[in-house]
Amino acid sequence: MVKKILTQNSLSAAVRRLRARGKRIAFTNGTFDILHLGHVTYLQKARASADVLIVGVNTDRSVKTYKDPSRPINPEQDRIKVLTALACVDYAILFNDPTPLQLILKIRPDVLVKGADWAIKDIVGAREVLSWGGKVRRIPLVKGRSSTRVIKILKLGNPCLRRHSKNG
């Protein structure tokens, strides 16, 4: 699993090796907090878009900037290790920026993948990927599947979690 986890230092060399072998690279990103069917289906479809899938994973600090302050539930090292255990994820890398633009510019993916809930004009990096001849693929989400939904169900069914959410 560890070989599938890239760092900012190892990213460029890994991409160079993949390009030298003629591999087409797909890139996606997200929190991937509580892995569920929607995530797995999405990642499988993202992987089918190219020869290799690299996933950018928001650090705990970056997640707190755009989600509920109690998120993520699972720490970044757990999230990236669970993701890289999936056969459809070839590599994953943590990123701390508010958006994955710097990663996209370093990787220069052939295919940029996001959920179909994103309008193409709102997808960070879409303009850049299209400018170098890449594609942007929007994948339909699995209806009713999200980490937020799972958390909500757990809080409703567990008085301790309800108390925890009010206090912290």
Please report, in tens digits, the pLDDT of each residue of the chain (168 residues total). 459 999 999 999 999 999 999 999 999 999 998 888 889 999 999 999 999 999 999 999 998 887 778 788 899 999 999 999 999 999 999 999 989 999 999 999 999 999 888 899 999 999 999 999 999 999 988 676 666 666 676 666 665 544 444 444
- Residue 162 belongs to some domain of the structure: no
Is residue 101 a part of any domain in this protein?
yes
Q: In this structure, is residue 119 part of a structural domain?
A: yes
Looking at the domain assignment, is residue 158 inside a domain?
no
pLDDT the model gives residue 166: 46
pTM: 0.86
φ/ψ bin of 118: left (φ > 0), alpha (ψ from -120 to 50), beta (otherwise): beta
Phi, then psi, of 116 in degrees rounded to 5: -70, -10
DSSP per-residue string spanning 20-36: HTT--EEEEEE---S--
Q: Please count the structural domains in the chain.
A: 1
Report the distance separating Cα 50 and Cα 63, nearest Å. Answer: 27
CATH code at position 115:
3.40.50.620
In a domain? residue 168: no
pLDDT score recorded for residue 74: 92
HEC readout, 71-124: CCCCCHHHHHHHHHCCCCCCEEEEECCCCCHHHHHHHCCCEEEEECCCCHHHCC
Residue numbers of the domain that contains 13 = 2-142
93 in the Ramachandran plot: left (φ > 0), alpha (ψ -120 to 50) or beta? beta
Gap between the Cα atoms of 141 and 42, Å rounded: 7
pLDDT of residue 34: 84
